[in-house]
């Protein structure tokens, strides 16, 4: 009986591996397609990784009528800047998800 149990256990472990790999590959392909649509390239990622605190000090935001850019979020009392299009917001999220922020 033990040989049957161990045999079944081995076959079920082996059958899960290809399926998991297929799902992983499929997920990776979808991620790569989305990054391509939003212009995320290795060159861009490397460029963003080169940013330092001085980068932001050298290019400060202009003072404009900022009240139109900020919106109260419903889930918290914090304010979120809302001057990006949906495309720009998704682009930024994808870049930041690929780059470790060390600032």
Q: Contact 95/48 with Cβ under 8 angstroms?
A: yes
CA distance 70 to 82: 6
CA distance 88 to 68: 18
Rounded mean pLDDT of the chain? 76
CA-nearest of 31, 20, 50 to 93 is 31
pLDDT for the residue 61 = 74
CA distance 62 to 19: 52
Query: Tens of pLDDT along 62-87?
Result: 765 555 555 554 454 455 567 889 99
Confidence of residue 5 (pLDDT cuts 50, 70, 90): low
The DSSP string of 2-34 is HHHHHHHHHHHHHHHHHHHHHHHHHHHHHHHHH
CA distance 77 to 103: 24
pTM given for the model: 0.57
Percent of the chain with pLDDT over 90: 30
């Amino acid at each position: 009986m033990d040989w049957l149990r161990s045999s079944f256990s081995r076959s079920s472990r082996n059958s899960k591996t290809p399926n998991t790999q297929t799902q992983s590959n499929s997920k990776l392909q979808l991620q790569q397609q989305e990054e391509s649509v939003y212009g995320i390239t290795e060159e861009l990622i490397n460029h963003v990784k080169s940013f330092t605190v001085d980068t932001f000090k050298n290019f400060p935001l202009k003072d404009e009528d900022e009240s139109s850019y900020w919106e109260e979020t419903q889930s918290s009392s914090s304010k979120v800047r809302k001057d990006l299009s949906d495309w720009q917001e998704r682009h930024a999220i994808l870049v930041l998800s690929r780059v470790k922020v060390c600032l």
